[in-house]
Structure 1
Amino acid sequence: MGAAAAKISTRGVDVFYGPKQALFGVDLDIPRNQVTALIGPSGCGKSTFLRAINRMNDTIAGARVEGEILLDGENVYDPVLDVVELRARVGMVFQKPNPFPKSIFENVAYGPRIHGMARSRAELAEIVVRSLRRAGLFEEVKDRLDAPGTSLSGGQQQRLCIARAIATRPEVLLMDEPASALDPIATAVIEELIDELRANYTIVIVTHSMQQAARVSQRTAFFHLGRLIEDGPTAEIFSTPRRRQTEDYITGRSAAQRPGP
């Protein structure tokens, strides 16, 4: 797949935290309306790469990004680009559910309100209901929209955060281990939701679970020690990886540290 067919393309992306380099020359094309899973050992650069896409690394002192990250062909690090607008187009869901200390309604309404997406309370309510429906949560909370978002269960809180992320009508959803803090039943609900959402969004998910990557993604990228080792269709990465490092990691062999193809 070439850059022209991709929703997001990265070329030669290096990320530094002060003098420490966390990513080295990452070239990756992420197709639209598919789920791309980022896998690899802890500390290999997956989350750093994810945060670079919507410039969340900008909030870290000493962080620096070099290379190009293109969203629909536009460099997201162009100095004239509006970062607030970028983060409306590229939503983020974090590992631990983090609802605001507000009502369920206000959690979802927050983004549309600050971006001026609704001209009336009725329009805002329509956006909130639509977002909660898309996140598969509306039927569970429709009678208590004024209740605190923090009163929900862990799985419900994560779906609330997904509803909050999609309320600004983003084109891309970044998910950093969105189910790692959840029980198996809540995890299954989130995975089903991800599969439904890809019809409308380009999704990039960081996961430590090989089974989850295999279940939810169409493409997989394997990172190791800050480098992209291999990427391709998920079925191929898991059945016939081209690189020995990828095979060792997926199969859990102790030789996962061994360099070479």
Structure 2
Amino acid sequence: MTVSVAVPTTMAKRVTQNERIKMSARGVKVSYGENEALHGIDLDIVENEVIAFIGPSGCGKSTFLRCLNRMNDTITGCRVEGEVTLDNDDIYDASLDVVLLRARVGIVFQKPNPFPKSIYENVAYGPRLHGLAKRRAELDDIVESSLIRAGLWNEVKDRLDQPGTGLSGGQQQRLCIARTIAVSPEVILMDEPCSALDPIATGKIEQLIDELSENYTIAMVTHNMQQAARVAHKTAFFHLGEVVEVGETDDIFTNPREQRTHDYITGRFG
């Protein structure tokens, strides 16, 4: 079965040798009260790769993403079953420190949400909270390196004391990414990180995702299939609370195995 759909060349062409599973989900079910939103998800996330979760609205992709750092714990009436591991450790183990988990598995949300603090304090907040810097000079280095890695340093280095909320939308999102990587996470979750941004800002975020994947494992939800094709090494297609198909991004978009995947990416529903 061949799909005739125009797909841009992906940035993420790197071939990974000896793939190492960073996170793994087995039989993951999520229920909100009596409503089961996820029906037993099995999925592996490979270290230092970008995996995109695509699918129509309400299919469960954001719900699953939130399982990966236990953000669903904050939702009243939400129940998670199954197993999710990080480096083979069960992240739902009762003895696990959720604050430390969220430092290892950071998240960037759909709408930029800088703290009502200065640019400097936005980035310094996490390292200060987790005791990652003993002296101000060490904290300064973390802030600078995080802003550099987020591609924002040259734009803000002369106004670090100004409010982060005064930046443009795209700059705010890169500030949120800098804030996330300041605590040296191993995995970065992104929930439609470009949906509120203009095309120029989106391009900068996509380039940043490609660069960050050299050092971080990234799982992102996107409603934009062209974006998934550009930045993701692997793509998982969600539909009605299930993972229909997961594989190399080029394969998913040019030669999917499942009819539902074919129908979605060719616009027959969604």
Partner of 1:76: 91
Partner of 2:228: 213
Q: Which runs of 5+ in 1 are unaligned?
A: 257-261
Is 1:180 the counterpart of 2:195 in the alignment? yes
Which residue identity lines up with residue 69 of structure 1 in the other structure? V
RMSD, aligned α-carbons:
1.1
Is 1:199 the counterpart of 2:207 in the alignment? no
Which residue identity lines up with residue 232 of structure 1 in the other structure? G
Which of 83, 90, 101 is 2:105 aligned to?
A: 90
Cα shift at 1:5: 2.8
Q: How many residues align?
A: 253
| TM-score normalised by the chain length of structure 1 | 0.96
Question: Distance in 1 between the 2:69 and 2:33 partners?
Answer: 20
Question: Distance in 2 between the 1:19 and 1:79 partners?
Answer: 24
Partner of 2:247: 232
Equivalences for residues 36-185 of structure 1 within 5 A: 36-185=51-200
| TM-score normalised by the chain length of structure 2 | 0.92
By relative contact order (CA 8 Å, sep 6+), the higher-ranking structure is: 2
Partner of 1:259: none
Moved over 4 A (4+): none
* Identity across the alignment (%): 70
Q: Which runs of 5+ in 2 are unaligned?
A: 1-15
> In the TM superposition, what whole-angstrom CA distance separates every residue of 1:82-115 from its partner, at most 9, and x where no partner exists?
1000000000000000000000000000000100
> In the TM superposition, what whole-angstrom CA distance separates every residue of 1:47-84 from its partner, at most 9, and x where no partner exists?
00000000000000011110000100001001011100
Question: Distance in 1 between the 2:182 and 2:96 partners?
Answer: 21
> In the TM superposition, what whole-angstrom CA distance separates every residue of 1:153-212 from its partner, at most 9, and x where no partner exists?
000000000000000000000000000000000000000000000000000010000100
